[in-house]
Chains A and B, each alone.
Chain A
Amino acid sequence: MADDILRIRTPIGIDYTWSSGPGSVGYMRGLENGKLLGRRCPVCELVYFPPRNGVCPRCGVLLADEVEVGPRGTITTFCVVNVPFLGQTIKIPYVAATILLDGADIGMQHLIQECEAADVRMGMRVEPVWRDKSLWTPSLENIMYYKPSDEPDADFDVYARHL
């Protein structure tokens, strides 16, 4: 008899119906039309993009008014990715950044391209590069990446509260 087995594969697949919730409908409809729609907290007045779950986690209340933000924004922080990993689709090194869209109070993560990783800096102004309109879906993937917008850097004071 062969040696006793030590490991087994027990794959588990579960099917769900995923709902992003009514609080995110405006955000997704906006993306479908090339618009970045955030929402404002009625209590602390912060503007969230994306308006995840349609809720302000700080106040524990449902978000209220829709607010168009961006499309340009400011890099508040970033990292240079040098590590290859399974499923990587972008050539390394590349930059993942937190971008504070104009008019939003919460940064969002996106990719920075069309510049050297070494040139990326805090305060750098960036603009989105959209996928071809025929490929748009209700997803942030409609924006392929952000690139430098060649404006002067934002003052630290402008984004200091949003780090």
Chain B
Amino acid sequence: MRDVAIVAYIEGQNTAATSQTPVEMIVPVIHEILKRANVERSDIDFWCHGSCDYMTGQPFSFVSAVDALGAWPPIMESHVEMDGAWALYEAWVKIQTGEAETALVFGNGKSSAGDMNRALTLQLDPYVVAPLWPGFRALEAMGARAAIEAGTVTERQMAEVVSRSLRDASDNPNVLAYGYRDPDELLDEPMTANPLRAHDCPAMADGVSAMIMTTADRALEMCDRPAWIRGIDHRIDFQNLGLRDLGRSNSAALAAFHAGVTKDKVDVAELHATHSHHEVILAQSMGIDRSTTRMMPSGGALVANPLMAAGLARFGQAARQIFKGNADRAVAHAAQGACLQQNIVAVLEGN
């Protein structure tokens, strides 16, 4: 295995609704990330992008996204119809195979382009599930109830997750929801998709996240304290919700095991928990002790959820904790699909 590190991470400004096109959103972020790592376009030998056409409302939008990269002379580029975290995985594999030394990974989403709750129906089985148009919130809400009734998550835990996330978000200028809310006060709010309350669901955003990864030869030139990827794995569960125990995530558990999460203490975890109950389920499944690990110092995906960028943002935010010396060992996680169907987990270390 080659030693590969995240050396720079940038987020575009998260907004509730931008008038910019996806390309216009991406261009300044690419400039900024190159500047941050102090590299030229020509230093990047692999570009990898995560986004979803159904969300931008523009078929083949990933092709036009190349317009943002300055692909002249032609570049080595790839795209995943997934969150940018899976683009990171492809880039990591590309570097492991020796085909690339330095990769730029980015994810972008424009949640304001339409009703994403409804549009995400399209990630479900197209024969006997999607024709019912359940949307994704209904499924996450059913998952929450299954977890609550199984006793693996309590409504109070959910409120505590939200309270902490909003408080942490107050220190992060790039969020859409923040503030000081007592868990008791949150529990008094009405349910909007029983058993979920509005604050249990993510603040949808338009946004971009981008990072640069490189090998040991160059990492220290680009970053004082790179975040070394010591383990990474991704796993997927059945699509059929009826075959899964919604109170846990088997694929997150397996990915965490193979990434080596429990081999040592975890200082910080940035989990892609788009709904409050996810954090509790994920931590339990992955073997993370929430009482000793600093959970989502950025505020997490609850306070800013730019689709297809929010998962990569967890990797970037975890890496930032290493860059700043706040953590020696951090866990980054991203999820896709209904009720935590697919999970990617990495362990990042400062040494």
Contact = CB atoms under 8 A, between A and B. Distances in A.
Interface of A: 8, 10, 12, 14-24, 52-62
Contacts of A22: 19-20, 24
Give the 4 A-B CB pairs with smallest separation, nearest first. A60-B70, A16-B57, A21-B21, A57-B67
Contacts of B115: 15
A62 B20 contact: no
Contacts of B38: none
Interface in B22-73: 23-24, 27-28, 30-31, 41, 54, 57, 64, 66-72
B113 A55 contact: no
A60 B20 contact: no
Contact of A23 (B24, B30, B72, B122): B24
A148 B219 CA distance: 59
A22 to B, nearest CB: 6
Interface string B1-31: 0000000000000000011110110011011
Nearest to B65: A53
B198 interface: no
A59 B119 CA distance: 34
A17 B77 CA distance: 29
A95 B127 CA distance: 43
B24 A62 contact: yes
B72 A55 contact: no
A62 to B, nearest CB: 6
A61 B70 contact: yes
Given A15-B114, A23-B24, A62-B24, 5 more contacts: A10-B127, A19-B20, A60-B70, A60-B71, A62-B27
B325 interface: no
A127 B19 CA distance: 33
B112 interface: yes
B287 interface: no
A16 B114 contact: yes
A58 B131 CA distance: 43
Contacts of B24: 21-23, 53-55, 62
Given A10-B126, A53-B64, A17 B21 contact: no
Contact of B72 (A16, A21, A59): A59
B76 interface: no
A32 to B, nearest CB: 18
Interface in B88-140: 112-115, 118-119, 122, 126-127, 130-131
Contact of B21 (A10, A53, A56, A59): A53
Contact of A60 (B19, B69, B114, B122): B69
Contact of B113 (A8, A16, A24, A62): A16
Interface residues of B, number: 32
A58 B70 contact: yes
Given A10-B131, A19-B21, A55 B112 contact: no
Contacts of B21: 19-21, 23-24, 53-54
Given A18-B57, A21-B20, A58 B72 contact: yes
Contacts of B20: 19, 21-23
A14 B72 contact: no
Contacts of B64: 52-53
A52 B21 CA distance: 10
10 contacts: A14-B54, A14-B114, A17-B112, A17-B114, A19-B19, A23-B20, A55-B67, A57-B70, A60-B68, A62-B27
A61 B27 CA distance: 7
A18 B31 CA distance: 25
B67 A52 contact: yes
Contacts of B72: 57-59
Contacts of B126: 10
Given A17-B114, A23-B24, A55 B68 contact: yes
A10 to B, nearest CB: 6
Contacts of B127: 8, 10
Nearest to B19: A19
Contacts of A55: 23-24, 27, 67-68
Interface string B154-197: 00000000000000000000000000000000000000000000
Given A16-B57, A21-B19, A21-B20, A59 B112 contact: no
A54 B23 CA distance: 9
B59 to A, nearest CB: 11
Contacts of B119: 14
Contacts of B23: 21, 53-55
